[in-house]
Amino acid sequence: MQSCSVRASHFDLVKTLDSGQVFHWEKYADGFVGTIEQVPVYVEQRGSTLKVSCNGAEQSPGRVIRQYFALDHPLKKICASFPPDAAMNQARDFCRGLRIIRQPKWECLATFICSSMKQVAHIRQISRALRQRYGRKLIICGITTYDFPGAGRLARASEEELRVCGLGYRAKNLLATSRRVATGEAHLEAWNALPDDELRARLCELPGVGAKVANCVMLFAYERIAAFPIDVWIERVLRQNYFARKRKVTPRKLAEFAAGYFGEYGGYAQQYLFHYARLMKRRADPY
């Protein structure tokens, strides 16, 4: 096992892992256990330092962590680029240190196909079930974890078998997309070279992938930082704050507004608005 310290300024591990962009990290001791590709990882934050342990990384643990958590993103510059309205200012203040991480492409795509019309707690359960049933067993700090199964492994499963993992009607879509990726008909790595619009079009051809899921995958796995996924929460935020008492605002109109208003780091703005809205709802009750 390798251990090391990684300097991480302008970074909040808890906010980053709890913001609905990644679903498999589990709280353990003072940190989290999870995987990065096939590497089991334990990570905990002490101030502006990350204490990291991992098993069998080809590159140095520090490199892996800096890449995965996008510690090179210019967060101060990104936050300074946000439009200066009240909603955005509150979200930026609340989400200080939240970064958009670089996820493995297949894992991200598969997970967000499973996310449709599910709550975050459900998505976490599905992710755990798929990993336990189809992933490789890995040990870190005496804790058992599992990597995310490759498309080839899931392509060999049956729809009924996948339904056992709690996927419901999504099983059919995950299976169909797994097969396209496994055969190479959909070459996720090669799509890295495509411009945003073409990449979005390719992703939307996959079963279970519409504009929203495509934008999530672009943002969380292809580092297309301007991509702006619009889910139920973000739609509420946009309508309340930017289209107050206006009728007949179509989804297309919302998307066009978001693309123009939030700028080149729109994906970050979206993530901050999403996380702020979701956590406010969770606490805004006792009174």
Please report, as ranges, the residues that interact with DNA according to CB under 7 A.
Answer: 19-21, 112, 115-123, 125, 163, 166, 168-169, 173, 204, 207-214, 216, 229, 231-234, 250, 270-271, 274, 278, 282, 285
CB of 54 to DNA, least distance (A): 25
| 156, two tokens | 């060999």
Q: Closest distance between DNA and the C-beta of residue 67, in Å?
A: 20
What is the nearest approach in angstroms of DNA to the Cβ of residue 49?
26
140 vs 209 by CB, closer to DNA: 209
Shortest Å distance, C-beta 107 to DNA: 14
Query: H/E/C letters for each residue in 129-160?
Result: HHHHHHCCEEEECCEEEECCCCHHHHHCCCHH
Q: Select 122 or 133, whichever has its Cβ closest to DNA.
A: 122
Q: What are the helix and strand counts (H, E) for the chain? A: 14, 7
Q: Tokens 């009924």 belong to which residue?
A: 160
Instruction: Tell me how far apart the alpha carbons of residues 281 and 276 are, in angstroms, rounded to a whole number.
Output: 9
Give, as one character, the DSSP assignment of residue 51. Answer: E
Locate 179 and state its tokens.
């097969």
| Cα 128 to Cα 44: distance, rounded to the nearest angstrom | 21
Check: CB of residue 216 under 8 Å from CB of residue 110: no
Which CB atom, from 145 or from 270, has the smaller least distance to DNA? 270
Extract the tokens encoding 217. 């995958």
Q: How far is the CB of 122 from DNA (least distance, A)?
A: 5
Q: Which is nearer to DNA, 197 or 285 (CB)?
A: 285
Residue 135 or 266: the one with the smaller Cβ distance to DNA is 266
138 vs 238, beta carbon nearer DNA: 238
Element at 33 (helix H, strand E):
strand 31-36
- Cα–Cα nearest to 182, from 243, 222, 214, 134: 134
User: Least separation, in Å, of the C-beta of 63 and DNA?
Assistant: 25
